[in-house]
Amino acid sequence: MTTAIHFGAGNIGRGFIGKLLADAGIHVTFADVNPQLVDELQRRHSYPVHIVGQEVRTDTVTGVDAIDSRRPELLELIAGTDLITTAVGPTVLTLIASTLAQGLQRRFERGNTAPLNIIACENQVRGSTFLKGEVLKHLDARYLAELEQSVGFVDSAVDRIVPPSADQGDPLAVTVETFSEWIVDRTQFKGPPPAIAGMELTDNLMAFVERKLFTLNTGHIITAYLGALAGYRTIGQAIADPAIRAQVKAAMQESGAVLIRRYGFDQAQHQAYIEKILGRFANPHLVDEIDRVGRQPIRKLGPEDRLIKPLLGTLEYGIDNANLIKGIAAAFCYRNEDDPQAVELQQRLAAEGLGATLAHYTGLRADGDVAGRIAQQYLALKPRGDH
């Protein structure tokens, strides 16, 4: 039987990647540091996934196991497994790299030359390539040739909205939307790619990475920040506001025009993709908190992320960007005392003003035309009484 280790037994791990693997008949062992999740998975070997869309149903994922990712037995599993996936968040990839390196070293010492593919399923561009770089920091140089020969670090793009579960009575229950997309780079596999329904192979991953980033992520974050300014609590409430919906759609069309120019996407098909995503935001069964989507505004204002990268594309191709500008201005208005990045952003704004803060986090020139336009929108949007 094909085996896989999945790092991260959180909602995305259980509700998305782990489920696809298990549905494909692969025996999945979740590796996590949360003792409650690990204990429950070890005891039950199954969990429910509530899938909510036009129809609501519950699937039961079976035949799974779990291990505390700090246990030395995990190295033995890595030495013998067929596939490794992750859904831990970009910062945790750095933390698991040492464990992966130790497990791979044991694998090579055993003479296991069977192909092993490692797929980081993160909201990070080329996350598997990044993980490879982290693993190489810990791997004995004697094993570099074996790593290159038998271990594939396969980049992927993942898309599924997985809010906190509505089923509070069961720690393993997870709620997901019907839509899911897992696109992987066909060219990076060692050996034949595994047959997994729901995993799509492509020779042009960056087109799909940016399509998701510029459409779902851009639209989601602008909905959150405009919704927060309007006093809404959830994404569903915000997107039901006709004014917010119109601005979010227009911003997605601006970023979409960049994609059409850059990758040759069909205009009508991309418009349909935008409409599908707007429908996903409005899903009445997904109670998605604005503060979940809006958290970590500093990361989301980075030059390679969902607000600034599409804006830079509009500048590159001479495309209208008024609604992206407004979404960026709204990000600087975002307040959340429970989010350290939101607190830091507001503290820097208070100390240094918008121009210097904008330049620091986004890389845009403080004295440039774009910064001036963002500043105009910021002054128009920010709540009265703010300095």
The arithmetic mean of pLDDT across residues 327-355, rounded, is 97
Is 374 known to sit in a ligand binding site?
no
Is 283 known to sit in a ligand binding site?
no
User: What is the pLDDT, as a whole number, of residue 272?
Assistant: 98
305-338 exposure pattern, b = at least 16 Cβ within 10 A, e = fewer: bbbbbbbbbbeeeebebebbbbbbbbbbbbbbee
| pLDDT(245) > 80 | yes
pLDDT tens per residue, range 120-175? 999 888 999 999 999 999 999 999 999 999 999 999 999 998 887 767 789 999 99
| pLDDT(94) > 60 | yes
Is 308 known to sit in a ligand binding site?
no
The arithmetic mean of pLDDT across residues 66-93, rounded, is 96
User: What is the pLDDT, as a whole number, of residue 293?
Assistant: 96
- CA separation for the pair 350, 365 (Å, rounded): 19
Is 5 known to sit in a ligand binding site?
yes
User: What is the pLDDT, as a whole number, of residue 382?
Assistant: 87
| pLDDT(387) > 70 | no
The arithmetic mean of pLDDT across residues 63-70, rounded, is 97
CATH architecture type of domain 3-202: 3-Layer(aba) Sandwich (3.40)
pTM: 0.87
Judge contact between 244 and 227, C-beta under 8 A.
yes
Question: Which percentage of the chain shows pLDDT scores above 70?
Answer: 99
Is 11 known to sit in a ligand binding site?
yes
| pLDDT(274) > 60 | yes
Is 270 known to sit in a ligand binding site?
no
| pLDDT(54) > 90 | no
The arithmetic mean of pLDDT across residues 10-37, rounded, is 97
User: What is the pLDDT, as a whole number, of residue 124?
Assistant: 86
Is 302 known to sit in a ligand binding site?
no
The arithmetic mean of pLDDT across residues 224-228, rounded, is 98
The arithmetic mean of pLDDT across residues 203-224, rounded, is 96
CATH for the 206-381 domain, from 1.10.600.10, 1.10.1040.10, 1.10.3720.10, 3.40.640.10: 1.10.1040.10
| pLDDT(213) > 80 | yes
Is 12 known to sit in a ligand binding site?
yes
- Mean pLDDT score of the chain, rounded to an integer? 96
User: What is the pLDDT, as a whole number, of residue 90?
Assistant: 86
Burial of 378 (0-12, 13-18, 19+ CB in 10 A): buried
pLDDT tens per residue, range 167-209? 778 999 999 999 999 999 999 999 999 999 999 999 999 999 9
Is 7 known to sit in a ligand binding site?
yes
Domain boundaries, the chain: 3-202, 206-381
- CA separation for the pair 326, 322 (Å, rounded): 6
Place 386 in a pLDDT band, splitting at 50, 70 and 90: low
The arithmetic mean of pLDDT across residues 109-125, rounded, is 95
Is 227 known to sit in a ligand binding site?
no
Query: Is there a common fold for 3-202 and 206-381?
Result: no
User: What is the pLDDT, as a whole number, of residue 81?
Assistant: 98
Is 371 known to sit in a ligand binding site?
no
- CA separation for the pair 129, 152 (Å, rounded): 10
Q: What are phi and psi of 331, to 5 degrees?
A: -60, -35
User: What is the pLDDT, as a whole number, of residue 385?
Assistant: 57
**Rg of the chain's alpha carbons, rounded to an integer?**
22
187 CB neighbour count, 10 Å cutoff: 13
User: What is the pLDDT, as a whole number, of residue 162?
Assistant: 86
User: What is the pLDDT, as a whole number, of residue 171?
Assistant: 94
> Range with the lowest mean pLDDT among 10-14, 286-290, 381-385?
381-385
Is 138 known to sit in a ligand binding site?
no
The arithmetic mean of pLDDT across residues 51-59, rounded, is 90
Of 164, 159, 157, the residue nearest 50 (C-alpha): 164
User: What is the pLDDT, as a whole number, of residue 55?
Assistant: 85
- CA separation for the pair 179, 206 (Å, rounded): 20
The arithmetic mean of pLDDT across residues 92-105, rounded, is 97
